[in-house]
Amino acid sequence: MATLVLNSDAQPLSFLPLSTISWQEAITNLVLDKVVVLEWYEDWVVRSANWQTRVPAVIMQKQYQKKKNVMRFSKYNVFLRDEYTCQYCGAGVTRKTATLDHVLPLSHGGKNAWENCVCACQRCNLAKGNNKQIVPAVKPYKPTMYQLVDKRKKMNFEIQHPSWIEYLR
């Protein structure tokens, strides 16, 4: 089980990926007085020889951590930008079946960059191969952090405690 970590403004530290930590790390931060517990797991208590506590479900940091405004280039973020949809045939793909396609192939001088990579299904990526004449339906672009977060919020999160829903809106 994990603990949801919120910034001091009561917003998750990150949606990409969702800011969670292990329950052991949450208790360590609680003991070090770095966080405030907002929600607890109801029937979960951990004990040591001379101390016991319930396990936190949601914690909020006491110190504000500045959020990053620049999104790093990664396969996961490209798939998220393209909403797990093949940019050639429009088919939906999963994280396991999605492939990263270079619009201008690396062998033709293409780069690993937002503006040159799209999400593709395996069939379309194989069919395109080294061909630079085939172009995606939507021109690839560099998204802002806010665009990616909005797309991530539309997807399902793995909710481990009912109170998380309130903070993930």
pTM as predicted: 0.76
Residue range 98-125: average pLDDT? Answer: 95
With respect to residue 62, please indicate whether it lies within any of the assigned structural domains: yes
Residues 14 and 51 in one domain: yes
Residues 58 and 22 in one domain: yes
Tell me which residue range forms the domain holding 24: 2-68+151-167
The span from the CA of 14 to the CA of 157, in Å, is: 13
Whether residue 63 is found in the same domain as residue 117? no
Q: Are residues 61 and 7 in the same domain?
A: yes
Among 40-44, 66-70, 125-129, the least confident range: 66-70
Give residue 53's pLDDT.
92
Instruction: Give the Cα separation of 11 and 140 in Å (integer).
Output: 30
- Whether residues 6 and 38 share a domain: the answer is yes
- Band of residue 113 on the pLDDT scale cut at 50, 70, 90: very high
Cα distance between residue 68 and residue 45, in whole Å: 35
Q: Are residues 128 and 109 in the same domain?
A: yes
Amino acid 146: pLDDT? 87
Residue 9: what pLDDT?
A: 93
Domain presence at residue 97: yes
**List of residues 6+ apart from 110 with CB closer than 8 A:** 102, 103, 104, 116
Residue 78 belongs to a domain: no
Report the domain count for the chain: 2
State the average pLDDT over residues 27-48.
94
Residue 169 scores a pLDDT above 80 = no
* Res. 100: pLDDT tops 80: yes
Residue 77 forms part of a structural domain? no
pLDDT tens figures, 115-134 = 999 999 999 999 999 998 99
Structural domain contains residue 76: no
* More confident call, 26 vs 160: 26
36 and 91 share a domain?
no
Least confident range of 86-95, 120-129, 149-158: 149-158
